[in-house]
Amino acid sequence: MRITLTKSFTFEAAHWLPTFPDGHKCRRMHGHSFRVDIVVEGDVPQDKGYLIDYGQIKDAAGPIVDELDHRLLNEIEGLENPTAELITKWVYDRLKPALPLLFEVRIHETCTTAAAYRGEG
């Protein structure tokens, strides 16, 4: 049986988007209550009945989320232009080595907007 599992995390952070046009509201510094969905995918071993312990996802993602929480994202190396799209890839690239079953990272910037990244291949 092939399945996906999702574990969600939240962090509070500020950013400004330097590539947006002058005068655009996102060019000014502002903050969000971000939600990060970490999605893993794989075949469930019949003898276990589960794909992965949610605690393993928490252990892998926790330090990354902590690095983002209550920060100005523009000051983090690799996030100088912290769009939702680029944040998803940044998180994915750091998480994949510790979480081989990683399928997707989804960043919710607001209640109604999100970006998702599934890797290059």
26 annotated active-site: yes
- Cα angle: 95, vertex 99, 101; to 5 degrees: 125
Answer yes or no: are the C-beta atoms of 44 and 103 closer than 8 Å.
no
- Please state, in angstroms and rounded to a whole number, the distance separating the CA atoms of residues 68 and 56: 19
Q: Which of 41, 67, 104, 109 is catalytic?
A: 109
Q: Which of 12, 24, 30, 70 is catalytic?
A: 70
70 annotated active-site: yes
Taking every pair of Cα atoms in the chain, the longest distance, rounded to a whole number of angstroms, is 58
- Please state, in angstroms and rounded to a whole number, the distance separating the CA atoms of residues 58 and 8: 9
Question: 113, exposed or middle or buried, with CB in 10 Å at 0-12, 13-18, 19+?
Answer: exposed
12 annotated active-site: no
Q: Which of 26, 32, 41, 67 is catalytic?
A: 26
Q: Which residues are catalytic?
A: 26, 70, 109
